[in-house]
Amino acid sequence: MTTTTVEGLVPRMREICGAANVITDPLELRTYECDGLTAHRSVPALVVLPATAEQVAAVVTACARAGVPFVARGSGTGLSGGALPHRDGVLVVMSRMRKILEIDPVSRRAVVEPGATNLSVSKAAAPFGLFYAPDPSSQVICSVGGNVAENSGGAHCLKNGFTVHHVTGLEIVTPAGELTWLGDGTGVTTGYDLLGAFTGSEGTLGIVTKIVVKLMPLPETVHTLLAAYATTSDGGRAVSDIIGAGILPAAIEMMDALSIEAAEAAVHCNYPPGAGAVLIVELDGPTSEVETELATVRALCEAAGATEIRAADDPAERALIWAGRKSAFAAVGRISPAFIVQDGVVPRTSLGAVLARIASLSEQAGVRVANVFHAGDGNLHPLVLYDDASPEQTVAAEELSGAILDTCLEHGGSITGEHGVGVDKSRYMPKMFSADDLDTMQLVRCAFDPASLCNPGKIFPTPRLCGEVPGHRRAPHPAVAAGLAEIF
């Protein structure tokens, strides 16, 4: 490895990507200073927009040889600062690589470039009666490469699983610049499941250049039911009862009064007026099965105290119900100058207790919280509303946000369900994992990226180079000391 400054790389990057696809203008570089989490900003030294896997490999090789850090960026909708650029590094933007390369209806799979939007895969598959199941609410714009890096979920992941369950092959550029494949597209793993390790690694193990995904048959029937409740606890009871009855809906989502107010203001979704909470339950599958389950779900929702129930079975009615839910994050911008989208997980059975605790924390802090969540998965998205013109409110919102994660952990949950750790939550990792756990995870990272050039500074609170004795420990890893492992 030679050490060249990032400026020294510009001629080589122009050779690789074409001059028009290398950005050095300070004003244009600012376009890329943050992702969907705008609280963290860092202007990259250089932005490149490669058009092929070979160009990505050449870009990474140049960075690796020069010892310059690099960060991949898809559509920049991430909510944990994962695509936050390195100020002395190269930002590799995948938006020119957005082709759907193949739809194979017989094997029910698609091969796509990483910059393709999530929704574009389902649109391309629809003429064959197929769809791509993981459906983040940002699916109109977020990229499949970003979905792989974050192991993204969505409303329908309750039944269908997350991105990791639908990816069967990845072409990647390793942090050394080598173009290679993980997984053979069949979904069968022999040896270590490197595909599984890579999915959800938040852009720290290499750059994805092609993705093989499973496609699923479009369901014969879809029914969406909207149930209104006086409180989220009543709605939560319905969730437990539905799952307890052995029914696995495609989606179960809940919104509280504040998020309903915001969604109404933004998209006029016409939810029942005065509702303290709404529950959206979607059932899909063979018609006879869905009809039977629908009757049971309706009865359980009523028994849990629903004040109104609406059923939608035509696409327009369903779209209106979903418009409220899918617009909820952006919609709170209507009722608050700034907000933090929190992402935590709790066991379903703790939903009621955790929501009550969030309400009391919010009251104590004098900071409003709107709750929108994947109720079936126990994946909460509390939206912490504050005025960013007030330094006191900003601090109070940050503290409340952290206290919400502490509450999730106290109930046996997790600091993130689907938005990732990125730069934002690395400080919370030691609350969930021991120093040994974190060191072991970093050994995986070191195996892929010994020089720590690939999206450095993300996920881990105390990043270190491969083989470096951990600063906070000042002694070898116990497994090394016991002769059970070696750092290489």
Residues in contact with ligand FAD by CB under 6 A are 35-36, 71-79, 82-83, 94, 114, 136-138, 142-143, 145-147, 149-150, 152-154, 202-203, 207-208, 329-330, 418-419, 455
CB of 153: closest distance to ligand FAD in angstroms? Answer: 4
CB of 169: closest distance to ligand FAD in angstroms? Answer: 14
CB of 280: closest distance to ligand FAD in angstroms? Answer: 13
- Which of 160, 135, 162 is CA-nearest to residue 151? 162
Asked if 429 and 461 touch (Cβ cutoff 8 Å), the reply is yes
Q: For residues 134 and 250, give the distance between their C-alpha atoms in angstroms, rounded to a whole number.
A: 11
Residue 223 vs 458, nearer CB to ligand FAD: 458
Report the Cα 280 to chain-centroid distance in Å. Answer: 21
What element of type H or E holds 261?
Answer: helix 257-267
Residue 203 vs 294, nearer CB to ligand FAD: 203
Question: Helix H segments across 67-207?
Answer: 118-125, 144-150, 157-160, 194-198
Q: For residues 145 and 167, give the distance between their C-alpha atoms in angstroms, rounded to a whole number.
A: 11
- Which of 199, 302, 193 is CA-nearest to residue 241? 302
CB of 300: closest distance to ligand FAD in angstroms? Answer: 25
CB of 320: closest distance to ligand FAD in angstroms? Answer: 18
Residue 78 vs 183, nearer CB to ligand FAD: 78
Q: For residues 20 and 366, give the distance between their C-alpha atoms in angstroms, rounded to a whole number.
A: 50
- Which of 175, 221, 231, 214 is CA-nearest to residue 198? 175
Residue 207 vs 283, nearer CB to ligand FAD: 207
Report the Cα 84 to chain-centroid distance in Å. Answer: 15
Residue 258 vs 306, nearer CB to ligand FAD: 258
Question: Which position has the token pair 């004795």?
Answer: 469
CB of 341: closest distance to ligand FAD in angstroms? Answer: 7
CB of 163: closest distance to ligand FAD in angstroms? Answer: 8
What element of type H or E holds 442?
Answer: helix 435-448
In eight-state DSSP terms, residue 21 is G
Residue 154 vs 235, nearer CB to ligand FAD: 154
CB of 405: closest distance to ligand FAD in angstroms? Answer: 17
- Which of 399, 469, 459 is CA-nearest to residue 429? 459
Residue 176 vs 290, nearer CB to ligand FAD: 176
Q: From the DSSP assignment, how many helices (H) and strands (E) are in the chain?
A: 17, 19
Q: For residues 282 and 313, give the distance between their C-alpha atoms in angstroms, rounded to a whole number.
A: 10
Residue 74 vs 293, nearer CB to ligand FAD: 74
